[in-house]
């Protein structure tokens, strides 16, 4: 006989992302018993598998029969259930690790075991978004000690997968905060791997930006590689440029970062833990970290960048990771393209050392590659940049890049969206300031990164002397609908470029 | 012609409570453009009305056609739309007042205008639950100054409705934190109104407890009164005991409080602002505040209660409200019943001064009523309790209570749920401790407060000498399903009562 708290699953195809959600009719006994307080959470079990889900209530009876419930897509996947399976619902006890979060709110310092318990609960999906928000807020500002950041990093590492490499030295690079078009990674990997260092680069897809390195690379090659495929490519070519999603290096961070971005709360501690934990989990030993500084970049002042560098270096020491932090100019987009295919076009131009290649993208890439070469101690301090340039200009880097792409599964030129609108200057003058955030927003509304060919082609860097009617940038899209949506936003905006 | 960002509404009957949610197909242009990051927010407009809603995505096509979207129930209500109406979607800019929240996170003190802007955005529904959680966390602990609490209270008052009374002195009482069965309010109102003071009591329904005063009263009379009906009842009887929901005294607080309870974060500042803002908005001038202290009550130590009293008194001074804070014993349930009808039975027994009436409920009520009488300065200090007892024992309070009920719309004896399970002692000894929180949980799982007759009848207060097999309490429900669900929880629990 069915129990009062057993109901049949009927999938409705509702994707709520990582917060599991359960849909129940308002007349079902469990629903009545639990009450419905917007944030009611229930345990849902199937066999030995169990998840915690937030309750949404159906006030009509046409979606579910009285003996049915539904779950969000990800909950269905995690439980491994299908239509008709009988799920058991039960009440949940308060989550123990939330008392550590409360202690943190009250200003106490947390210990290693506290962070371990919190991060384990986050990975298990036991925290609702509001609880993630409370943890993030409690740790925000400069509210974490160096030791706390080390504990958080270690907890993130132990709760995820870890990669191992036969090489003693494994290199990586990371850029803090999005600068549109700043696609140095593929170029740096190609140079460094061509030199002979091991650089198994796994990159993320965009979360709130118009393109992540993985999105950009996907317009050229295959990035969705299994761990064994990654090892094969690196064994053959010294490096790879793959999507990190097939390996779960820090599943806790993946959940935290989405809430952090939604809140737009800066948290040095969580930023440092996020970056360094993923590097260590990926098996890296030597990492160059790029912090672009600019009024519309993630880090806005030189002083904030220096403080971030200082704390990041202390945490890296505590974790036994060798890092070099470089602070760079983040006042404007890098290269000309913003969006996967447009950025891919730029990086290929640099790798081919084409005369029209964006020189800023080339210089930044050489600078970072040089730092990595020096970090290996195989190249003397001060000569890394020149070594990197030699490798690039000789064609060795391009050859290596194509080799990596072919090893990953193929190489093709990127294809740019054919629906296009040019945006022209409404007055003459010098471009003095660029709002990176709003430019990125336009590229996204035009469809980037989901539509690989969508984005912005940008022609007016700071200092450009423009005339009325001159093209400042072009918006590309893969459909008229997306182009229209981006233009609708643009209509409501002023001074994305300041011309004086 | 329809625009890319115009879609037809199809209601699906999904209730997500106060966080507006929008459901879109994953293949719709807006959905692709915005990207789906779990916490994507969109503006939804219909005519001049506009709301902000969180995006959920439908991966199947059987719920919505390609030109349709759906909204959560409350969003439909707020926009005033129906099936087939054409809604416009647009991108939202970051919410300005969140920068004040971020400043607070960084340890800055906020000013009156900051709280005003934050509270206005909360009332407008511009904050998602994660943003409410960040604000609550930033203000939690003892992280607010007395001035900040005053600013928050004032912002809550100005963004809600305000009641006005012709009387110069208007009385009220409030109990901080749930103590199961502690239903003194109707008794206190009856005594005070019988004496002749004005006490227009509006009470809340339960949020996370098994019964609010409004739920309890609803098992006896009608509590869902319009503002004009409330005024009529008070004009006639000096007092009322109505549900506060028909008047929006502090709509911001209603949203904050649900997230606070979900997080179980104590925030003195928000608690004080919540209580005092509602009293002032209700037009009260003289208020007695009861803080029960116990290990499973909201306030757990005498010291915490004293500190809360101190800060609350300072804020009340700043707001020009006359209050008296009394700290009482919160170690166990009050009366015998937990749940609307069971609590109603107890309070009627006290009002009738029946020999079997719970003496603890009677004494607490007399004590609080006495404090209110003294606060009026019409009764001398030290004699309020005796005056209150005189009014109760003379039958004047019961007569007044019935008068109020009749004026509100009727009077009937409460009806207790007929599905019942008695819980017996598994050993002999003295009851030394009671877990109020878990007792409340059982009452809720049995169906309280939605099912008025559900709850717990409690027979073993602290100090009771029990024998094996003696009935400790009985669980009442209105259906076998609910009774079973409560018993399922009980099976997993130990030591709700400690017997030594």
In this prediction, residue B4 has a pLDDT band, given cuts at 50, 70 and 90, of: low
**Phi and psi for B182 in degrees, rounded to 5?**
-75, 70
Q: Are B16 and A38 in contact (CB under 8 A)?
A: yes
Question: Would you call the peptide bond into A229 cis, given omega within 30 degrees of 0 as the criterion?
Answer: no
Of B14, B102, B134, the CB nearest to A58: B14
Please check the confidence at residue B354 and state whether its pLDDT lies above 70.
yes
> Is A415 in a helix, a strand, or coil?
coil
Which among A61, A96, A266, A268 is annotated as catalytic? A266
Q: Å from A42 to nearest chain B CA?
A: 12
* A:9-38 residues touching chain B, CB 8 A cutoff: 11-19, 23, 26, 29-30, 32-38
Interface residue B419 vs chain A (CB under 8 A): no
Beta-carbon separation of B133 and A137 below 8 A:
yes
Q: Are A200 and A232 in contact (CB under 8 A)?
A: no
Q: Are A459 and A473 in contact (CB under 8 A)?
A: yes
Interface residue A259 vs chain B (CB under 8 A): yes
Q: Which residue has the higher pLDDT, A267 or A279?
A: A279
Please check the confidence at residue A2 and state whether its pLDDT lies above 60.
no
How far from chain centre, in Å, is Cα A145? 25
**Phi and psi for B357 in degrees, rounded to 5?**
-60, 140
| Strand-pair category, B429-434 with B497-499 | antiparallel
Which among B85, B121, B172, B266 is annotated as catalytic? B266
User: Does residue B317 carry a catalytic annotation?
Assistant: no
For residues B141-155, average pLDDT = 94
Is B258 buried (19+), middle (13-18) or exposed (0-12) by CB count in 10 A? buried
pLDDT at B64: 93
Please check the confidence at residue B273 and state whether its pLDDT lies above 80.
yes
Please check the confidence at residue A161 and state whether its pLDDT lies above 70.
yes
Please check the confidence at residue B440 and state whether its pLDDT lies above 80.
yes
Please check the confidence at residue A266 and state whether its pLDDT lies above 80.
no
Q: Rounded to whole angstroms, what are the CA distances from A268 to A303, B399, B489? A: 13, 64, 42
* Structure-block tokens of residue A222: 């295959």
* B:377-406 residues touching chain A, CB 8 A cutoff: none
Q: How far apart are CA B394 and CA A329, in angstroms?
A: 83
Q: How far apart are CA B30 and CA A405, in angstroms?
A: 33
Q: How far apart are CA A393 and CA A362, in angstroms?
A: 11
Please check the confidence at residue B2 and state whether its pLDDT lies above 60.
no
In this prediction, residue B35 has a pLDDT band, given cuts at 50, 70 and 90, of: low
Interface residue A80 vs chain B (CB under 8 A): no
pLDDT at B450: 86
pLDDT at A177: 75
Please check the confidence at residue A442 and state whether its pLDDT lies above 80.
yes
pLDDT at B207: 74
Of B18, B37, B450, the CB nearest to A32: B450
pLDDT at B257: 85
Q: Are A323 and A288 in contact (CB under 8 A)?
A: yes
ipTM: 0.86
Q: Are B238 and B401 in contact (CB under 8 A)?
A: no
Interface residue A485 vs chain B (CB under 8 A): yes
Q: Å from A37 to nearest chain B CA?
A: 7
Alpha helices in B179-301 (DSSP H): 185-195, 213-218, 227-237, 251-263, 268-281
Of A134, A265, A489, the CB nearest to B91: A489
Lowest mean pLDDT among A67-81, A254-268, A277-291, B468-482: A254-268
| Strand-pair category, B465-466 with B429-434 | antiparallel
Beta-carbon separation of A32 and B482 below 8 A:
yes
Q: Å from A274 to nearest chain B CA?
A: 18
pLDDT digits (tens, 9 = 90+) for A387-423: 999 999 999 999 999 999 999 999 999 999 999 999 9
In chain B, what residues touch A37 (CB-CB under 8 Å)? Answer: 17, 207-208, 258, 261-262
Q: How far apart are CA A433 and CA A499, in angstroms?
A: 7
pLDDT at A81: 97
Interface residue B494 vs chain A (CB under 8 A): no
Interface residue B86 vs chain A (CB under 8 A): no
Q: What is the DSSP string of B292-336?
A: EE-TTSSB--HHHHHHHHHHHHHHHHHHT-EEEEEEEE-SS-SSS
In this prediction, residue A37 has a pLDDT band, given cuts at 50, 70 and 90, of: low
Domains present along chain A, CATH in parentheses: 6-91 (2.40.40.20), 98-158 (1.20.970.10), 171-247+261-408 (3.40.1030.10), 419-499 (3.90.1170.30)
For residues B160-183, average pLDDT = 90
Residue in chain B lying closest to A63 (CA): B12
Interface residue B108 vs chain A (CB under 8 A): no
Beta-carbon separation of B488 and A29 below 8 A:
no
- Of the candidates A274, A218, A226, the one whose C-alpha atom is nearest the C-alpha of residue A251 is A274
Please check the confidence at residue A32 and state whether its pLDDT lies above 90.
no
Q: Å from A492 to nearest chain B CA?
A: 10
Of B19, B36, B489, the CB nearest to A17: B36
Averaged pLDDT of chain A = 92
């Amino acid at each position: 006989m069915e129990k009062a708290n057993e109901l049949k699953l009927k999938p409705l195809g509702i994707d709520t992302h990582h917060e599991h959600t359960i849909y129940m009719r308002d007349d079902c006994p469990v629903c009545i018993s639990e009450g419905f307080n917007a944030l009611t959470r229930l345990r849902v079990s199937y066999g030995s598998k169990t998840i915690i889900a937030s309750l949404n209530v159906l006030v009509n009876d046409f979606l579910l029969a009285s003996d049915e419930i539904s779950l969000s897509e990800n909950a269905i996947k995690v439980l491994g259930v299908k239509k008709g399976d009988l799920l058991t619902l039960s009440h949940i006890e308060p989550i123990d690790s939330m008392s550590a979060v409360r202690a943190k709110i009250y200003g106490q310092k947390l210990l290693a075991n506290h962070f371990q318990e919190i991060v384990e609960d986050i990975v298990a999906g036991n925290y609702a978004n509001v609880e993630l928000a409370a943890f993030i807020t409690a740790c925000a500002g400069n509210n974490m000690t160096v030791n706390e950041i080390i504990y958080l990093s270690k907890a993130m590492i132990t709760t995820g997968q870890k990669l191992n490499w036969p090489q003693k030295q494994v290199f990586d690079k990371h850029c803090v905060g999005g600068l549109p078009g700043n696609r140095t990674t593929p170029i740096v990997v190609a140079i460094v791997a061509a030199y002979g260092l091991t650089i198994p680069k796994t990159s993320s897809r965009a979360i709130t930006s118009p393109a992540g390195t993985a999105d950009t690379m996907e317009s050229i090659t295959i990035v969705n590689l299994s761990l064994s495929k990654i090892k094969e490519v690196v064994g053959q070519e010294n490096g790879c440029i793959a999507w990190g999603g097939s390996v779960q290096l820090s599943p806790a961070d993946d959940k935290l970062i989405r809430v952090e971005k939604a809140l737009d709360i800066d948290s040095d501690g969580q930023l440092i833990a996020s970056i360094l934990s993923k590097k260590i989990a990926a098996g890296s030993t030597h990492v160059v970290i790029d912090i672009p500084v600019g009024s519309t970049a993630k880090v806005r002042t030189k002083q904030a960048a220096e403080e971030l560098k200082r704390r990041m270096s202390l945490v890296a020491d505590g974790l036994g990771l060798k890092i070099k932090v470089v602070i760079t100019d983040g006042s404007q987009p890098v290269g000309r393209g913003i969006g996967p295919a447009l950025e891919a076009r730029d990086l290929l131009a640099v790798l081919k050392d084409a005369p029209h290649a964006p020189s800023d993208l080339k210089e930044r890439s050489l600078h970072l590659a040089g730092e990595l070469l020096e970090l290996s101690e195989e190249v003397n301090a001060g000569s890394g940049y020149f070594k990197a340039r030699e490798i690039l200009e000789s064609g060795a880097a391009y050859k290596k890049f194509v080799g990596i792409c072919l090893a990953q599964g193929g190489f093709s030129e990127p294809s740019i969206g054919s629906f296009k609108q040019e945006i022209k200057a409404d007055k003459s003058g010098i471009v003095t300031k660029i709002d990176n955030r709003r430019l990125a927003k336009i590229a996204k509304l035009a469809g980037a990164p989901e539509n690989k060919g969508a984005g912005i082609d940008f022609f007016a860097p700071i200092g450009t002397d423009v005339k009325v009617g001159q093209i400042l940038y072009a918006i590309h899209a893969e459909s008229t609908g997306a182009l229209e949506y981006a233009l609708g936003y643009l209509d409501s905006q002023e001074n994305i470029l300041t011309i004086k």
